[in-house]
Amino acid sequence: MRLHTRTFLWSLLPYGVLLAGSFWAVQALVLSAVQNQLRLTVKEAEASIRSTRSTSEQGEDRVLRTVAKNPALKDGIQQLEAARNPDARRAVENQLSEICEDLDLDLMLVSDTDGIALAAVLRESGEVHALDLSKVQPARQGYFSYENNIYQVASMPINLSGENQAALSLGERFDWPGIPVAAVLLHNGRIVGSNAILRIYEALGTRSEDIESGLRNCPEATTECDMHVHEEAYMSLPISEPRDGYQLRSLQSVDAVARPIQSSLRGVFLIAGLGALAGAVLISFVTSRSIVKPITSLITHLRQSANTGELAEFDMAVPRATGLGYNGEGTREIRELMQNFNGASAAIREAQVRLQRGTVEVIESLTSALDARDPYTAGHSRRVSEYACAIGRTMGLGRDQLNEIRIGALLHDVGKIGIRDDVLLKEGKLTPEETQLIQQHPSIGRRILEGVKGLQPYLSVVELHHENWDGSGYPHGLRGDETPITARIVKIADTYDAMTSDRPYRQGMSHEKALSVFEQISGSQLDPYVLEAFRRLQVIELKASISETKSVSLRRLSEAVGSARLTSIPHEREGTPS
């Protein structure tokens, strides 16, 4: 993504976040206001219902007191308590029916002290008839549900022979239209009645079972409850106290009430949001251009300098010549950036020169130390470097890998500094312990060089040039491509020079003899792909051309280090020879 686009987006983002946050806050405030209004409405309804219920209970209490003193009813109840036969029950039911007709009551009930109904009558469709007590047991207090009708019931004890031996209850049909808010009547957590609002919710896809499940999760029956049913937010408040498992609660869909308001708000927000967004886009566009234009010009100049392979250096005397013609106060920071960059570029170039000089000095010292210890192998590392580079060129390796091979091969035996003279210079056959000691020189070489940051790319060659293709080498027993291609190439060059060079204890092999041995160990110790590239070399001519003096060798080493890119080498084969 372009810098101009990123700057524009980051300039626009705060406006968008602020705008979205403002809309969210306003919507939250609206929903909160709706919920508060619903609570107020329900509380007002609750107060009205309590007042109405209190007046009704006072009237019911007076009726109960009057009826409870009826001598004929008391005699009938006393006979029913004594006999409890159908005739006595029918006599009491007839008396209750007459009282219901006279007082226009909906329900009358006589029960014993244990709350078991003895006789009951109910008004249905204008007619009063006896209830089958074997199928239904009306409540003595609170609410009673029968045939989709809800009855409010109040009771009073009846004294017979100076003792409380029965109770008389009367009830009236619950006035749902008198409830000014959406409400449901619950009995032991199940909805047994409601006003029209529940049917509206059911028409919208919300089942009464889902509402019951939500209400059962309310923490207390006497507290407000917020719940979600099918992603619809509901609020429920108690209208009456729980009694005998019955409770009347309001049930309001907050989303349904807030939806028209939200719809209006969305229209307002859309118009306001589009206007604010257009302004934000314009401001962000102007701001981003003022920020990006000088930076883009600076980047363009740096990219042009990168194409030349040299660090950029800005001509501060003629800023317009570079395309950075902004001399005003607004671009003072850009000019400071250019000045600081010029200083950093000069410091980097100086550091590169010092690093190159120091690296050459280190390698020169190490190579001189090796030659001083083992004069019979003098020039070995240089020849291995030449052979290995020739193999790498034949395989088509890039410049970076060739430089790693060249310098890594020069340093590959640096670890022999850590081997004792009596072992390193021994002319006879080595003992197993001495062989094990000699095999430590790759690891020693790595430890010697890994503290020098400039030599990090060559550590794999130094440490792994004695690994075998079949995994039988040392120090790690790597197999196949697990050893980097640079180390596998140096191994063949190292092996060839060791086999064809004279030693105090043996004569060097001929080129043909060395190739014959290579054929025997191809695929076991040597990589067959690298060996195929080695076969195509004109090794005899290459050996004749390696006759440089020590000073010329060090000069070439300095050039190699100076042109090397100090980057890490992937541990995998770069390709196969053609």
Domain boundary assignment for the chain: 69-178, 353-563
Q: Which residues pair with 110 in a beta bridge?
A: 119, 168
Q: Looking at residue 227, what is its pLDDT?
A: 79
Q: Going residue by residue through the chain (578 aa), what tens digit of pLDDT does each one get?
A: 565 566 666 666 776 777 777 777 777 777 777 777 777 776 777 677 667 667 766 777 777 777 777 787 878 887 887 778 888 888 888 888 888 888 888 888 888 877 788 888 888 888 888 888 877 777 777 777 777 778 888 888 877 666 777 888 888 887 766 677 778 888 777 887 777 666 666 665 667 777 777 777 776 666 778 877 777 777 788 877 777 777 788 877 777 777 777 677 777 777 877 777 777 777 767 776 666 666 776 677 677 666 665 666 666 654 443 444 444 444 566 677 777 777 777 887 787 778 766 765 666 566 666 656 666 566 788 888 889 999 999 999 998 899 899 889 888 888 888 888 888 777 778 888 988 998 999 999 899 888 877 788 899 999 999 999 999 999 999 999 999 999 999 999 999 988 988 776 678 888 889 889 999 999 999 999 999 999 888 766 566 555 544 445 545 544 554 554 333 333 333 333 32
For 478, the 3-state DSSP assignment is coil
Q: Looking at residue 396, what is its pLDDT?
A: 92
69-178: CATH number = 3.30.450.20
**Look-up: residue for tokens 């890594």?**
408
Dihedral pair phi/psi, residue 271, rounded to 5°: -65, -50
Q: Looking at residue 376, what is its pLDDT?
A: 59
CB 134 within 8 A of CB 123: no
CB 140 within 8 A of CB 155: yes
Q: Which amino acid is at 182?
A: A
DSSP string across 332-394: HHHHHHHHHHHHHHHHHHHHHHHHHHHHHHHHHHHHHHHHHH-GGGTTHHHHHHHHHHHHHHH
Alpha-carbon distance 510 to 319, whole Å? 67
Q: Global pTM? A: 0.41
Alpha-carbon distance 327 to 253, whole Å? 65
What does the buried/exposed string (b/e) look like for 314-329 if buried means 16 or more CB atoms within 10 Å of the residue's CB?
Answer: beeeebeebebebeee
Alpha-carbon distance 111 to 27, whole Å? 56
* 218: Cα separation from own chain's centroid: 33
Dihedral pair phi/psi, residue 231, rounded to 5°: 65, 15
Question: Are domains 69-178 and 353-563 of this chain identical in fold?
Answer: no
Alpha-carbon distance 530 to 483, whole Å? 13
For 58, the 3-state DSSP assignment is helix
> Shortest CA distance to 386 belongs to which of 520, 534, 532, 522?
534
Q: Looking at residue 264, what is its pLDDT?
A: 75
Q: Looking at residue 404, what is its pLDDT?
A: 92
CATH 1.10.3210.10 for domain 353-563:
yes
